[in-house]
């Protein structure tokens, strides 16, 4: 049977790979190709790209900071065919840079595994202490009243599933050591080749690096769904457009597709800009325009598997627009849903219907008169837009600033203005809710769009004309098979 196990406190990164650099290394990187952004009230430098295009090497496009104050920079791997026609010296330089970045990424994984293992070991000790007390209470029932006895027993039952996790973390730690040794050996080989150019098979080198990348990705994919426990400081990517709008990347397509879409405004808009990469979006270049056949309402749009899902202006109709064919594939009314500022978020803006996607699929967040203005969650079938299942959260939509889905859980903010926090969570898997207290820095004081991207594992926000990212911290849940 499947046994749920817990893995703690992993900071999920914004794109394909994450590499952890000490803060003091940033100044040496800025001179390569940097742009100044504001984050968390201080001015910092974010490296937009080490190279002009993904074909020429790794790209660094944003930075964040972990709990220990270490800088976390996000890098995007180059195209797979980088060694096909380049001179050997250029191939060698790129391979060495890739090895360096993989090594730094493994340091992040190593640190995370070490911390998690320490937590599990501490929990194991706690469980033994509690279990010892339970045995004493069992031998001498008079020493513990019935209520206290049951509470102690329940705690033990909650801790028991953590025992097998210890062995899993030990295995992960050994795997990290093997990967680190392989990278070290490959680095030594590359340095030797640098002294004796032309004496090695570069295609074999490239394959070895790609194999290491694959194995590292496999390690990081163990980080599955979990409960939101924290949000990072904001990372300002760009300041563009009006006060209200939305921007996004595809929530489902492969990570090699880095297109970014931007939709300015919330009222009767039809113009969607598609940028080739995040770097192009930051610079405002290399984009194409899509003119939608029907105008949109609000900012609750989502791109899912190559199509844009949005709310048609002055209606409760959802439209699926396919970017490649530039055509509407399907449109369907969301029965009973309010529209045209009947049940918006606290900021207004025709935000009655909010479409979003997470690890579990496509969702619509809205409300209706029969639901007394409380937020309703419906899971949608992406092809037909039929409603598969619906939940009434009991939370008044007009009291919400924005909301987003992570792993089947709806998280709601209590305001769109400064001082907002993530205040409410509704779990669709158990049809239950709880009030939360997760702060985040609303840097520009007016959020009109906040959506989670499960592929990149970040929050996208449109904040008073600024396009801003947040990393998230999840309490990890990993399922393994057991008897």
**Helical H segments across 326-434, by residue range:** none
Q: How many CB atoms lie within 10 A of CB 404?
A: 26
74, 109, 176, 184, 415 from 181: Cα distances, Å:
23, 14, 9, 5, 49
Asked: is 224-475 a CATH 2.115.10.20 domain? The reply is yes
Q: What is the pLDDT of residue 161?
A: 67
Closest CA to 21 of 52, 50, 55, 57: 50
What pLDDT is stored for residue 155 in this prediction?
72
Q: For residue 428, what pLDDT is reported?
A: 97
- pLDDT tens track of the chain, all 483 residues? 333 333 333 333 333 333 333 333 333 333 333 333 333 333 333 333 333 444 444 444 444 555 555 555 544 444 444 444 445 566 666 666 767 766 666 676 667 666 666 667 667 666 777 777 777 777 777 676 777 777 777 777 767 666 666 666 677 777 777 777 777 777 777 776 666 655 445 667 667 777 776 665 555 555 568 899 999 999 999 999 999 999 999 998 776 788 999 999 999 999 999 999 999 999 999 999 999 999 999 999 999 999 999 999 999 999 999 999 999 999 999 999 999 999 999 999 999 999 999 999 999 999 999 999 999 999 999 999 999 999 999 999 999 999 999 999 999 999 999 999 999 999 999 999 999 999 999 999 999 999 999 988 899 999 999 999 999 988 865 444 443
Question: In sequence order, what are the beta bridge partners of 379?
Answer: 363, 389
CB 397 within 8 Å of CB 373: yes
Q: Which among 286, 172, 227 is positioned nearest to 434, based on CA atoms? A: 227
Beta carbons within 10 angstroms of residue 44's beta carbon:
18
Measuring CA to CA, which residue among 462, 450, 1 is closest to residue 228? 450
User: Whole-model pTM?
Assistant: 0.59
pLDDT score at 411: 98
Tokens of 424: 């409410």
Identify each DSSP E strand in 175-224 by its residue range. none
pLDDT of residue 176: 74
pLDDT at 182: 73
């Amino acid at each position: 049977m499947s046994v749920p196990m817990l893995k703690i406190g992993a900071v999920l990164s914004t794109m394909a790979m994450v590499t952890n650099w000490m803060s003091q290394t940033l100044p040496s990187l800025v001179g390569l190709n940097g742009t100044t952004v504001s984050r968390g009230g201080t001015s910092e430098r974010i490296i937009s790209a080490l190279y002009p295009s993904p074909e020429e090497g790794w790209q660094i496009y944003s930075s964040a900071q972990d709990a220990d104050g270490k800088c976390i920079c996000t890098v995007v791997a180059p195209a797979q065919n980088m060694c096909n026609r380049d001179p050997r010296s250029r191939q060698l330089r790129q391979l060495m840079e890739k090895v360096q970045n993989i090594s730094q990424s493994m340091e992040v994984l190593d640190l995370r595994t070490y911390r998690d293992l320490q937590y599990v070991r501490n929990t194991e000790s706690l469980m033994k202490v509690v279990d010892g007390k339970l045995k004493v209470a069992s031998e001498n029932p008079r020493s513990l009243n019935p209520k206290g006895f049951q509470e102690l027993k329940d705690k033990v039952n909650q801790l028991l599933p953590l025992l097998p996790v210890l062995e899993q973390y030990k295995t992960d730690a050994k795997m990290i050591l093997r990967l680190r040794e392989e990278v070290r050996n490959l680095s030594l080989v590359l340095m030797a080749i640098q002294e004796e150019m032309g004496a090695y098979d570069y295609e074999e080198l490239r394959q070895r690096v790609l194999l290491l990348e694959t194995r590292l990705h496999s390690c990081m994919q163990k980080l599955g769904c979990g409960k939101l426990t924290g949000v990072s400081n904001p990372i300002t990517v760009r300041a563009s457009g009006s006060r209200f709008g939305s921007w996004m990347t595809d929530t489902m397509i492969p990570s090699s597709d880095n297109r970014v879409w931007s939709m300015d405004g919330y009222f009767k808009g039809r113009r969607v800009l598609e940028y080739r990469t995040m770097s192009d979006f930051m610079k405002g270049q290399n984009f194409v325009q899509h003119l939608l056949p029907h105008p949109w309402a609000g900012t609750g749009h989502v791109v899912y598997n190559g199509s844009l899902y949005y709310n048609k202006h002055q209606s409760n109709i959802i439209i699926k627009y396919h970017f490649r064919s530039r055509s509407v594939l399907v449109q369907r009314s969301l029965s009973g849903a309010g529209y045209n500022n009947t049940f918006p978020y606290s900021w207004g803006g025709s935000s009655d219907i909010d479409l979003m996607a997470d690890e579990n699929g496509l969702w619509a967040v809205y409300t209706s008169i029969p639901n007394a203005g409380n937020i309703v969650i419906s899971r949608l079938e992406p092809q037909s837009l039929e409603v598969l299942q619906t939940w009434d959260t009991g939370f008044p939509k007009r009291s919400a600033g924005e909301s987003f889905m992570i792993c089947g859980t709806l998280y709601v903010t209590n305001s769109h203005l400064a001082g907002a926090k993530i205040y409410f969570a509704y779990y669709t898997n158990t049809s239950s809710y709880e009030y939360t207290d997760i702060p985040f820095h609303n840097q520009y004081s007016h959020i009109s769009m906040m959506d989670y991207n499960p592929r990149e594992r970040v929050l996208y926000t449109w904040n008073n004309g600024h396009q801003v990212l947040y990393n998230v911290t999840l309490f990890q849940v990993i399922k393994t098979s057991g008897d």
